[in-house]
Structure 1
Amino acid sequence: MKTIVVTGGTSGIGQALAHTHLGRGDQVVVLGPDPLKGKKFLDTAQSAGAADRAFFIEADLSLVSENRRVIEEIKDRFATVDVLVLCARYFRSHRMVTSEGIEHNFALYYLSRYLLGYGLADLMNRAEKPVVMNIAGPGVGAPGVQWNDLGFERDYDGWSAMFQGGRLNDLLGVSFAEGGGARRARYVLLFPGGTRTGFAGEFDAATAAHIDQMKRAAQPVEYTVPPILEIIDAPPQEPLSAFVEGAPLSLVGPAFDEGAAARLDRITQELLRDKVSAS
């Protein structure tokens, strides 16, 4: 029996993966901010006879403090983590700053994935074939990182913030994979293609219309999940790999630049040290 941790596991792709793994006999830990959705996940698991293998941890993963609490709770309750699935994302047409002073998209889409991946690395080291499955829009082809304004304090645009999130996650994968053997988990960056999911967010009228159009053209989640499961079941040998709609993606190019990855890692560590000092 594997232990699967899923962010964004109460809707869309994350939800489908969570229930699929429960059906396989695994124990599944879903992280999310909505207790009603969490209860629905647990009730569905109970109806399927899997109540003893289903867990919900309520948390606002846009907050550094909440990620740290969740990491400690998982460490206290579970001996290993076999798979960490990172799906949580929330689109915002209008800029929002968390109570900790961090732009929301950067905090949830990037910083939470950074914290959970590194924070659970020791538990994943105990697993037979550990995998971090980072489901994100790839940064390849997106505009460059706004190094001097990562939080989009000037000229915020929801799509730009989301695309930059993809770039940041690509660089996160590079840094994580360069652990010198300290981290056994295979890091997989994956863009599954347009999927007819909830696409959680706060949208202005023009964006809402565009999202509706995207959903109509997208594939159902039932088509998206099997290729993801194939990678989880037989992870690549390489420390880092990337896939776009099932096709392997070359890791050569600016999206996976080691220097940029190291720069982002330094910025992130400094930010997190400041949050520790402020707490």
Structure 2
Amino acid sequence: MSNQLNNNMIKNSDISALAANFREYIARNKTEEERDQLIEDLTSRNQDLSQFAYITSHNLRAPLSNLIGLIDILNYDLLDEYNKKIVDMFRDSADKLNETIYDLTQMLSLKSNKDIKIENISVSRIFKKVCNSFTKQIHTMGIYLHTDFQCEMIPFNKSYLESILMNLMSNSVKYCSENRPLRIETTTRLDEAGNIILTFKDNGMGIDLLKHKDRIFGLNERFHNHVNGSGVGLFITKTQITSLGGEISVKSEVDKGSTFTVTIKNIQVV
């Protein structure tokens, strides 16, 4: 009798364990199915969002370029003061939209570029190209530019370096001091470890690092509300640099200026 009871207890315990294992298996499979479905939904939404942003940016770029071109060829001197103000507002709005589209395109490029081409590029040539985009500001504002490229050739991505220097230059121009002419110094050199150090320094408004140090390279972060900006330039800059194994840091002091230091691995390019 006791043996039969023991056998029944063993059988019941086996059934209970089997049932528990089966319930756990069902729950685990359900969780995995839900996770897979969530990943599929997020992937699909991300693709739709990227496609929408890509189409929007490209469809807006052509008419926007035409609008900016028409504003530029407009005979501004023939307008009265009222219409000059209207044209100035048109120009400001067009510039803001152009900057937004540029930032959007850069962020899409960061997400889509899985295989980024690295080549030896001339930093002085890229910097000259960037300066050409700011010819008007350089002359009207009397910007002083100083360069010292001890490392002329840099192993980097060409479009990334142009974007990085463009963002840094744009920030220097936007946040220049009203008390002195803008001075920008751009240099390259080798450090003790053989890495390439690119330094971009200005004497502009500067940033209060005690308040904003942890937010400098964040997305949609702005530190001077009286100047128009999207707040994504430094985010894109850091993302581009770190995606290639580099680093960026900043030293800044209010009303004295900012210095951005970019460390680039001095790799051999085949």
TM-score range, shorter chain: under 0.3
Query: Which protein, 1 or 2, shows the higher relative CO under an 8 Å CA cutoff with sep ≥ 6?
Result: 1
TM-score normalised by the chain length of structure 1: 0.23
In terms of fraction of residues, the more helix-rich structure is 2
TM-score normalised by the chain length of structure 2: 0.24
In terms of Rg, which structure is larger? 2
